[in-house]
Structure 1
Amino acid sequence: MSNLNTSELSTSEETKSHLLQWAMVAFLVYLLICAVGMIGGGFKLATGDHAKELFAFASNPFAGLVIGTVATALIQSSSTVTAIIVGLVAGGLPVAVAVPMVMGANIGTSITNTIVSLGHVRAKEEFKRAFAAATVHDFFNLFSVVIFLPLEIMFGFLEKIGSWLSSFFYGAGDTSMGGFNFVKAATAPVVKTAKGAVEGFGDQIGGIALIVFGIALIFLSITLVGRLLKKLMVGKAKDIMHTAIGRGPISGIFSGTLVTVLVQSSSTTTSLMVPLAGSGAFNLRQIYPFTLGANIGTCVTAVLAATAVTGNAEAALQIAFIHLTYNILGVVIIYGLPFLRYLPVRAAEWLGATAAENKMVALGYILGVFFVIPGACLGISSII
């Protein structure tokens, strides 16, 4: 009887602990949304009507691509970078300038699992499989940029699709959802209080202070949310992954999306797969669709944050939808067309085999993709 009571007490305490952790996750998501609103308000306050002039250096798409890539590679979170971009757009950053930045964020986030794969470097066959599993994400994101950036430059189709989707939420008349956005109403008091706290410093200094505080709050909230969700969900995420991988591409893509939404990090999702590939538990073609789903799942943070920004709220939601549309179209076009479907897989297999033979190739690849190519893009942008 005593053992039964102890067991019931333990279960009750565990349930209370989980509920408390979920409540903390909800509070941190609330802070994240508030932080994005602060960035938008601070940016608008600091720049006034000169936002376009401030980002004139990034008006070239290559420069915007580099900013998104390098920022995400350094911060190691595309969710953080895209949330910051959403806040900047709300404050006046032109959507056209932000589009290449979110494309770059996709490239930058893939460095994490590439670095994780280096943990298998001592075992040749393991490293071959692990490095290929890590870099298939890189190649897919690079191919997406090669396909969609020229199309966006020529036709601006992503910008148009994003505008069309956001119009459903901020359209005219009674159909607009902007008038009864409860998330925005819930976060408005915090954002207004933060603005009031910096008013005494003047527009420029106060606006910059608000931006810095908002960015710091985004870092804090996403980091803590990530840690809590890993405790709560990673075990379940692994179960989903083991259940889904190998059951077909649709199941893999859906599961990759779901796991990434749960852990709020595509880097975490894709990094979970690297050891599985290295051990030989799954082959690259089984893991590949799961990686594609991770790209889609990582867009949730920006869409959520965009629902509550102040300032140019419709443009903020537009860039969030652009990021989502870009990743969905990447999957549809590259995976949907047979002649493109396995190009990232073949490129990753070749690179994995080459790197296993010569470890310096792996180092050269990381430096090239995340430093040399961005530098070359900046060089091209200065010429253009």
Structure 2
Amino acid sequence: MTETTKPLGQLEQPRSSALLWFGIAALIYLLLVAVATIGTGFKTAAKEDAETLFAFATNPFMGLIIGTLATALIQSSSTVTSIIVGLVAGGLPVSIAIPMVMGANIGTTITNTIVSLGHVREKQEFRQAFSAATVHDFFNLISVLVFLPLEIMTGFLQKSAAALVNVFASDAELSIKGFNFMKPLTKPGVELIQSGLRGLGFDDMLTGVLMVALGVVMILVAVIRVGRLLRSALVGRAKRILHAAIGSGPMSGIGSGTLVTILVQSSSTTTSLMVPLAGSGVFKTKDIYPFTLGANIGTCVTALLAATAVSGTLAGAALQIALVHLIYNVLGVLVIYLIPNWLRATHVTDFPIRCAETLAGVASERKSLALSYILGVFFLVPGAMVFVFN
């Protein structure tokens, strides 16, 4: 009997694994359809005047604030950047979208900062966990302070991404059909949604608005669910990889952070995994730091994947903002972290670590400061700035 039951048991795991990966593939498809739905929705609602819908965000600081607030509320930069890709596909100017993706980088760090509060009862653990969590905050804040003024003055991110887009498209229509293999798959889903809403008697304006709203909801559902499924499929293995890789040096940490985030499709997930390890003393803040930088790079894959769902004259713009996100995060790692090491100016590299450790030391003595920090940095300050710059 043991010989008959053993093969049956061995067959159960592949079957459940196949169902798990089928669910992941289905949710990624839903994400692609959702992004295409947002773009089509804006085009349907605004037609040729789509850009007028975004007049309120002409100020780059407003774009930064919107990106920060939206990501802090949704707790997923992957979700927000996918939505931004959809907005650009619907007519949002790339120059306005760039500060929004920068803000998404800031907003996504709220998740691991909240996770660190789980150690609040143990002073030393909380200090270690809060430091490991907020080093990501300080890096992203410094990155914005460095690159946003440069982008406003020179437009170097927008121009660099446009040059890369031209590798794939050379004419005014920016046809990227050569690698846009998702279009034939997403078109039926988008048309089904659009025809269903029109079948209810809605005009173009209301149909477009409802498509945008439905697309956002679909993205939320897809990103949340696919993250859970991928964690079930990969996170146990990822933890073992992290223990072996993070202590091997900065480049190993960056590489493993990038890889795991690509697999899990969520920088919040990967960085949050490290906070308890830091709290328990397994890793120090300086060990966690390069891993979080890799997570910044890995999270760009979602937006790049989403851009493949966009077609038409604005397909190049959607790809451009996805590439801006990638270039921005790679340059941040190079300029703020790696180049100072090459120049032996380690005090620049260590600045986010020193800031995080100093804040954590104060927060461990005054626990209320930790909550004030989260509310202030991610909600109150951005909310107040809305009234200043709007």
Bin of the TM-score, shorter chain as denominator length: over 0.9
Match of 1:129 in 2: 128
Match of 2:141 in 1: 142
Match of 1:230 in 2: 231
CA distance in 1 between counterparts of 2:4 and 2:169 reads: 55
CA distance in 1 between counterparts of 2:263 and 2:72 reads: 22
In the TM superposition, what are the counterparts of 1:251-270 in structure 2 within 5 Å? Answer: 251-270=252-271
Match of 2:34 in 1: 35
Structure 2 SS opposite 1:282: coil
Contact 2:27 2:222 in 1 (8 A): yes
Distance 1:56 1:86, change over 3 A: same
Q: Is 1:368–2:367 an aligned residue pair?
A: no
Contact 2:175 2:316 in 1 (8 A): no
Structure 2 SS opposite 1:240: helix
Unaligned runs of 5+ in 2: none
In the TM superposition, what are the counterparts of 1:161-176 in structure 2 within 5 Å? Answer: 161-172=160-171
Unaligned runs of 5+ in 1: none
Contact 2:176 2:311 in 1 (8 A): no
Structure 2 SS opposite 1:142: helix
Distance 1:33 1:330, change over 3 A: same
Q: Deviations over 1:228-266 (max 9, x none)?
A: 111101101101111111101111000001111111111
Match of 2:181 in 1: 182
Q: Deviations over 1:123-180 (max 9, x none)?
A: 010000000000001111101111011011111111111111122222349x964245
In the TM superposition, what are the counterparts of 1:1-384 in structure 2 within 5 Å? Answer: 2-172=1-171, 177-179=176-178, 181-199=180-198, 200-311=201-312, 312-336=314-338, 337=340, 338=345, 339-382=347-390
CA distance in 2 between counterparts of 1:375 and 1:214 reads: 25
Alpha-carbon shift at residue 373 of structure 1 (Å): 2.6
Structure-1-length-normalised TM-score: 0.95
Alpha-carbon shift at residue 342 of structure 1 (Å): 1.2
Instruction: State the AA in 2 paired with 1:214.
Output: G
Contact 2:112 2:133 in 1 (8 A): yes
CA distance in 2 between counterparts of 1:279 and 1:8 reads: 41
CA distance in 1 between counterparts of 2:237 and 2:194 reads: 40
Instruction: State the AA in 2 paired with 1:94.
Output: P
Contact 2:175 2:311 in 1 (8 A): no
Contact 1:125 1:356 in 2 (8 A): yes
CA distance in 2 between counterparts of 1:51 and 1:330 reads: 32
CA distance in 2 between counterparts of 1:255 and 1:133 reads: 17
Structure 2 SS opposite 1:212: helix
CA distance in 2 between counterparts of 1:8 and 1:283 reads: 45
Q: How many residues align?
A: 380
Distance 1:111 1:279, change over 3 A: same
CA distance in 2 between counterparts of 1:7 and 1:235 reads: 24
Distance 1:124 1:11, change over 3 A: same
Two-structure CA RMSD over aligned residues (Å): 1.6
Alpha-carbon shift at residue 301 of structure 1 (Å): 0.7
